[in-house]
Chain A
Amino acid sequence: MKTLPPPCPEPESGRLYWRSLDQLARTPEFQQWLEREFPEGASEWQDPVSRRHFMRIMSASFLLAGLGLAGSGCRRPEERLMPFAQHPEGYVHGRPEYYATAMPTRTGALPLVVKAHEGRPIKIEGNDRYPDGNGGTDRWAQASILNLYDPDRARRITHQGQTVPRQEGLDFLTGLAGELENRRGRGLAILAEPGTSPSRARLRRELQARWPEAGWYEHDPLDLAVHRRAASLAFGRPVQPRFRFDRARVVVSLDCDFLGTEDDAFQHIRRFSQSRKLEKPEDTISRLYVLEALLTLTGAQADHRLRLPASQIGAAALVLARSCGVQGLPEVPTEGLWLAWLEECAKDLVAHRGRCLVVAGHRQPMAVHVLAHAMNHALGAVGETLELVPAEPASEDGLAPLAQALRQGQVDTLVILGANPVYTAPADLDWPEAQQKARLVVRLGYAEDETFPLCHWHFPLAHYLESWGDARTSDGAYLAVQPLIQPLFGGISELEFLARLQGRAVTSPYEIVRETFQAEVRPANFEEEWKHFLHDGFRGGPAASLGRLALQESAVRQAVALVTLPKPGPDRLEVIWHRDHSLDDGRYANNGWLQELPDPITKITWDNAVLMSWRTARDLGVKNSELVEITLGGRTVRGPAWVQPGMADYVLGLALGYGRERAGRVGRRVGFNGYALRPGGHPHFAVGATVKGTGRNYVLACTQDHWSLEGRPIIREANLEQFRKHPDFVKRLDLHPPPVVASLYPNPLDREKERALHQWGMSIDLNACVGCSACVIACQSENNIPIVGKDQVRRGREMHWMRIDRYYAGPPERQKDKSVWRREEHQWRESWIEQVQVVMQPMLCQHCEAAPCENVCPVNATVHDHEGLNVMVYNRCVGTRYCSNNCPYKVRRFNFFDYNKRPLDGLYKGPFARRPQEELDLVKLVKNPDVTVRMRGVMEKCTYCIQRIEQAKIARKVQARDSGAVEVPDGTFTTACAQACPAGAIVFGNVADPNSRVSRLKRQLRDYTVLEFLNIKPRTTYLARIRNPNPAMPDYYEMPLTLAEYTARSGDPFAAGHGGSGARGHATGAHAPAGGH
């Protein structure tokens, strides 16, 4: 029945308004007109009964129709609408928001800016306002956003494995606090991961003041704080070393992978590559000597590299230190050491007094660290290239004392904050047994992992993007950790948990952080400065250097006495447990991006392997990728062997972090567990292992099978002297240019080029790139690139738009066997791989101006735009894959399956396998809404982050208004890879602007095009790598080995007349025969 409007009360007094004279007169016609819904003449269904009847019939038929549709399965997808209940101030729908925050690590923190879209964080960037940085990050920071949306996170509070309501859990904490208060913390042990949060330190101090009998232990399986401990020991006060690779001219690394797996590698990479960048031949660059057992990223950058077992680094360091003039050192047996190498290295160090730096790796014992500091001290590096900044005292790994306390029954209540000791504890500690000695185990954990079943209470830990907090970088800068999203699954931050545990009145982490800010900074105007702190994400900058501190000679002598260790041999192998480049200590095992990120050296994904040298494998009779059993100290693990070029002999490299039993759906049982073999005393390497082959083959998914460049000038490099003598050397490596003939079809881009404001291009400096792979993950995060799983990677179907090609080069005279004609498996049996040089090349779509992919696509799915981008139209692509076949760089990636829709183990089941809806919903949140999620059957590739280009152009247009200045100024935006690169090796910009950074780089002498002879004019060009070897060294090569390989096959590039366009081709305009075109 029609609802009549409520009668409008007539005003009792005052003016009377009327709409018409009819109203004034209150005629019946007017009354009717008011009540009628439709004007005169329109028919109206006045009968209420009929109307209801109609509705009833209609709803019945709609119901039936709905049933029919539902029954046939033809329905619109369910969509849930989540509108803002309260509209946030200043929020513009569709425009991303950026917040400064920081990612805490065990020894420091990374200052970050995180992009959030509609309230969900989707992309992590480095904070480029931070005074000591360039906006670069590392792979872990880039990938940590995926951990936020991990469907296997701990999502509930459990007691004895049963879910309990949140309030009950919190009440339990309150009760526990009361109980502990009564006994002044006796029997309480807290096991935490090392951290740098000032608030946590403050809460810890509060706790220890209130409950002096409570124990606080910190556990880091990798013990990355050894740098701080060593520096503190050597210089007699708590200091943190800051390695200024940017100032050093000569760097010696003693098994220190400072570019790869040391903490703060992104800072080291930035500083190191700063010292390696050069513009003109006259510029000087630094020189890097590396002594190491494994082949690491740092070793890949070395100008001289000495392969030594980790146990012999100490002896070599001693020789080096004596040659550098460090006094009072013991004699050392020099057997097996390459003395000439060490002496020349020492001479070079001495020659660069004050501008050299010796660094020791975290796997090395304290003695080596102290020796390094002694050398730095003797060489005048302290205060120059080695800056010491005041720091909190670092703790040692406290798991062993805690286990002892547990066994002795001193611990009644064990509280674990974050750590996963059941998985990461050394094997001989028998930690699970020790943990069960505690009456009550309460844990705050990120996942229901290996430690979970042995806990009585388990609380979900909040991600750092969900929680308020603070942190310090390793060199003392104070950073804010700001949440971007409410905890997705009710996670509790460490600060809140600690506060509740000690029954604090204020448990809100926000308030705790503010209290700390007040205490640390003592600001004059609190609110104002607090806002600044949050806005910038940091306060102040890194701590100032303490200058030239004096060395504690006695401490050095004491530490160094224990430096010599037994040598490994074929029947007593040395095992090195190393931090995994992707999974860290195992904490990222459930992160698909990191699992699928190829190790930058081995290029293995989804697995770890027993790395060994060619000679070791030969002597042990082990084939590559054969399953082997390693036995050490009565314990045995089984893993696939991997013959790694450039490794020290009789050394086995075991990456930690794999073989997890309870890691979640991605990381469960990936690889083998190296912890199961790890002794407590010498957790980083041990001599005395034996290896037995099982004869069984194990399939490893490696993304790059072929090692050698085969003498092709794809990566061009020269020694510094050669570059000085032949500044045009890159051009000399060009193939004969094709004859210049008029094109049959004029390229429409040539016309557009003159009109368009922007022409996008990229320059990649191979001298700066160290291969850290932060760009690969950044690209994956920015562009919604799916993971495909081990089986698909094995088939060569990984989807990375950007990859890092890694090649090994050996002395050509040793590569006589024409191994290239055999299958790749033969590489492992070749002797030249013993000593190799490594080169890296980031490879992504080159955006050719005359792109070969475009004219072969039958459906116009890949086309060129007027700004020089090779654009991929997913909607139009039918998937003939011809474009990929015709791409000489093979940078196009094909969706062989519905990688987004299907579970990784159900790809072959087609429509019969679907990911659970809640998993899909969660994974959806991490997607960048500006980038299409591709379906199966579609080709995809790097777009130069076209979404960022368009956003920058639109922003510029909005800003320009009527002025017409719509050209995007250089440096206002960049691609995801360039932004993430800590080395600044990737520069993107407008090549139409001659003053842009990229244009200036492309004018450098080192600029070259890969496969230039195809005449496809790529927009991405590379700057050749320059090595800086020391001619006095015994392993000096006159030319880089890749260049030597080229020379062996194609002739001396520096001989007169060589090269296509160098001296001869262009000058005379001679038409050389078209090569390969």
Chain B
Amino acid sequence: MAEGVISMTPPPVPRELERPPLVLRQRSLGWISDHIAGIAEGKAPLWWWCAFVPSFLMFLLLIAMLAYQISTGVGVWGNHHPTMWGWDIINFVWWIGIGHAGTLISAILFLLRQRWRTAVNRAAEAMTIFAVMCAGIYPAVHVGRVWFDWYLFPIPNSNGIWPQFRSPLMWDVFAVSTYFTVSVLFWYMGLIPDLAVMRDRAKTRLRQIVYGLLALGWTGGNRQWTNYEKAYLILAGLSTPLVLSVHSIVSLDFAVSQLPGWHTTIFPPYFVAGAIFSGFGMVLTLLVPLRKLCHLEDIITMRHIDVMCKVTLATGSIVGYAYAMEFFIAWYSGSPYERFAFLNRALGPYWWGYWLMLICNVAVPQLFWFRSVRQNLWLVFVISILVNVGMWFERFVIIVISLHREFLPANWGYYMPTWVDVATFLGTFGLFFTMFLLFMRFLPMIAISEVKGVTPQADPHHPLGGAKPKGGGHG
């Protein structure tokens, strides 16, 4: 490489076109490696233990609750006649929805060359995987006879009985398992270069072996990078339709039925938008505090927060439009049963659930129109939580309010969860946070190699790019 004098004067860029850099304070590449890998090395900070111990206890609670439910019966939950699905399916759909942001960020934004994704994609993908794990528990155990779950898989058997391929629950099995598999693969693919970094930095024998095995012999050679980039692109292409398909299919669980309030063709796009909405809400909920706790302000910058707030605002508005359209169609259909179902949402015994949903999902995110709100981390954090509360209530509205009063008034009932429902749900949080905290203790929570690629100095045209600063070491 040519040694020469580098002009330190940047080319003139109009101020209005100037974008804030994706890594601030001109952090060097070495700093990035040290800082990110450092989170997963050394002694765990006190706050980590403070978060991990309760999470793990909640995870144990989940195990206890599942054991109780499986050994005793679905009756320990509040599900009843007519509301045969309650918190089990609400939580399933809710977690699945949360699981949407990760793959969207890593796949779709990758294809769209949104470079800002690199700072958040690893954590978001991990969040996706753990959320899908939490979600997957529910359909597996909410059935009456868990030990016959394998009937749902198309396993050839001597009776010649196949699953019912017309059932959306069947499609769910394929959709969710495919999504989970591809998400894990994609995540792992992206981790390989960073695992090599961890291996190279490892100080103990055990870490060397484990990271070494996981890094699959990565050396960072040109050919490896070429193959890696191609594979990553292919996986991104594969994941993209999955982002749209999973929640579309989950929405078909409802849309295929003929229950007023469920039987709606708007469901697939509306569910996908809602899922991305809730996924971004959860990413914000996680990253806003983590950014502070792990001192990642220079990597996860305010610009990142700002962009994610905008995505939340956009998807939240789509969701709001869908709510309005549902009401319009119910009126336009002329069916008294449809009309009743929707009026019952807004005015019926669960009116508070509906209005909570509207406030959290439609009204509150509109605050993101204001830059000052997007820049206020406390507000962003609170709103991101409210988004997930609202999305939980959206599923509550769809499932419980539709079921509790439908065709024959003789069947009407009032659903209430039991303590087991609540404890199981808390337990899934335990699982989620346990996994996430372990993830950040043992794996780099930000894609080191990718972030290096988006540092200002990585740009050959950047005044600092294309060459090593004087006296600087290796990146």
What residues of chain A have their CB less than 8 Å away from a CB belonging to chain B? 704-712, 714, 735-736, 745, 792, 795-798, 803, 805-807, 818, 820-824, 841, 843, 852, 854-860, 876-882, 884-886, 888-890, 893-898, 907-911, 935-939, 1010-1011, 1013-1014, 1016, 1049-1050, 1073-1077
Contact = CB atoms under 8 A, between A and B. Distances in A.
B75 A882 contact: no
Contacts of B164: 854-860
Contacts of B54: none
B406 interface: yes
A612 B408 CA distance: 27
Interface of B: 68, 71-76, 78-82, 84-85, 139, 142-146, 148-149, 151-152, 161-164, 166-170, 173, 253, 256-260, 263, 333-338, 340, 343-344, 347-349, 351, 403, 405-414
B83 to A, nearest CB: 8
A895 to B, nearest CB: 7
10 contacts: A706-B410, A745-B166, A821-B351, A876-B151, A890-B408, A896-B75, A936-B144, A937-B74, A937-B143, A1049-B336
B81 A1075 contact: no
Contacts of B168: 856
Given A704-B410, A893-B81, A858 B169 contact: yes
B82 A890 contact: yes
A31 B152 CA distance: 68
A821 B335 contact: no
A855 B256 CA distance: 9
Nearest to B68: A910
B143 to A, nearest CB: 5
Given A705-B413, A796-B413, A823-B349, A857 B84 contact: no
Contacts of A879: 74, 143-145
A707 B410 CA distance: 7
Which are the 9 A-B pairs with shortest beta-carbon distances? A879-B144, A937-B144, A1076-B335, A910-B72, A896-B75, A805-B410, A881-B84, A858-B169, A937-B145
B86 to A, nearest CB: 10
Given A710-B409, A858-B163, A896-B79, A881 B85 contact: yes
Contacts of A889: 407-408, 411
Contacts of B71: 910-911
Given A735-B335, A860-B164, A898-B73, 12 more contacts: A712-B408, A714-B409, A821-B344, A854-B164, A856-B256, A880-B144, A882-B84, A889-B407, A889-B408, A937-B74, A937-B145, A1010-B408
A704 B81 CA distance: 11
A357 to B, nearest CB: 33
Contacts of B257: 852, 856, 882, 885-886
A1049 B336 CA distance: 9
Contacts of B163: 858-860
Given A792-B75, A856-B168, A858-B170, A878 B144 contact: yes
Nearest to A821: B347
A1050 B259 contact: no
Contacts of A854: 164
Contacts of B334: 736, 1073, 1075-1076
Contacts of B412: 705-706, 824
Contact of A805 (B169, B337, B408): B408
A890 B411 contact: yes
B279 to A, nearest CB: 26
Contacts of A938: 144-145
Contacts of A878: 143-145, 148-149, 151-152
B401 to A, nearest CB: 12
A363 B142 CA distance: 52
Given A706-B409, A712-B336, A881 B162 contact: no
A909 B72 contact: yes
Contacts of B407: 712, 714, 888-890, 1011
Contact of A714 (B80, B139, B253, B408): B408
A379 to B, nearest CB: 40
A852 B258 contact: yes
A898 B145 CA distance: 11
A855 B168 CA distance: 9
A858 B152 contact: yes
A938 B145 CA distance: 7
A138 B149 CA distance: 43
B409 A1076 contact: no
A876 B71 CA distance: 19
B406 A888 contact: yes
B81 A884 contact: yes
Contacts of A858: 151-152, 163-164, 167, 169-170, 173
A937 B141 CA distance: 11
Contact of A1076 (B78, B139, B260): B260
A1058 to B, nearest CB: 13
Nearest to A935: B145
Contact of A881 (B144, B148, B173, B351): B144
A894 B86 CA distance: 14
B74 A896 contact: yes
B167 A1075 contact: no
Nearest to B346: A821
Nearest to A745: B166
Contacts of B344: 820-821
A855 B166 contact: yes
A1073 B333 contact: yes
Nearest to A1074: B333
Contacts of A1014: 258
A936 B73 contact: yes
Contact of B408 (A711, A798, A843, A895): A843
A822 B152 CA distance: 40
Contacts of A704: 410
Given A735-B335, A878-B151, A1076-B337, A884 B144 contact: no
Nearest to A804: B410
A897 B72 contact: yes
A712 B349 CA distance: 19
B37 to A, nearest CB: 45
Nearest to B84: A881
Nearest to A822: B349
Contacts of B338: 1076
Nearest to B173: A858
Contacts of B81: 796-798, 884, 890, 893-894
Contact of A897 (B75, B80, B167, B409): B75
A797 B80 contact: yes
A885 B408 contact: no
Contacts of A708: 409
B422 to A, nearest CB: 16
B398 to A, nearest CB: 12
A427 to B, nearest CB: 38
A473 B163 CA distance: 56
A709 B409 contact: yes
Could you say which of B139, B256, B258, B351 has the most chain A C-beta atoms within 10 Å of its C-beta? B258
Contacts of B148: 859, 878
Contacts of B139: 880
Contacts of B167: 855-858, 882
Could you say which of B73, B79, B334 has the most chain A C-beta atoms within 10 Å of its C-beta? B73
Contacts of A712: 336-337, 407-409
Contacts of A897: 72-73, 75
A896 to B, nearest CB: 3
Could you say which of A707, A712, A888 has the most chain B C-beta atoms within 10 Å of its C-beta? A888
Nearest to B78: A795
Contact of A937 (B73, B79, B80, B162): B73
Nearest to A856: B167
B76 A908 contact: yes
B151 A1050 contact: no
Nearest to B171: A858
B162 to A, nearest CB: 7
A563 B452 CA distance: 103
B145 A885 contact: no
A506 B344 CA distance: 73
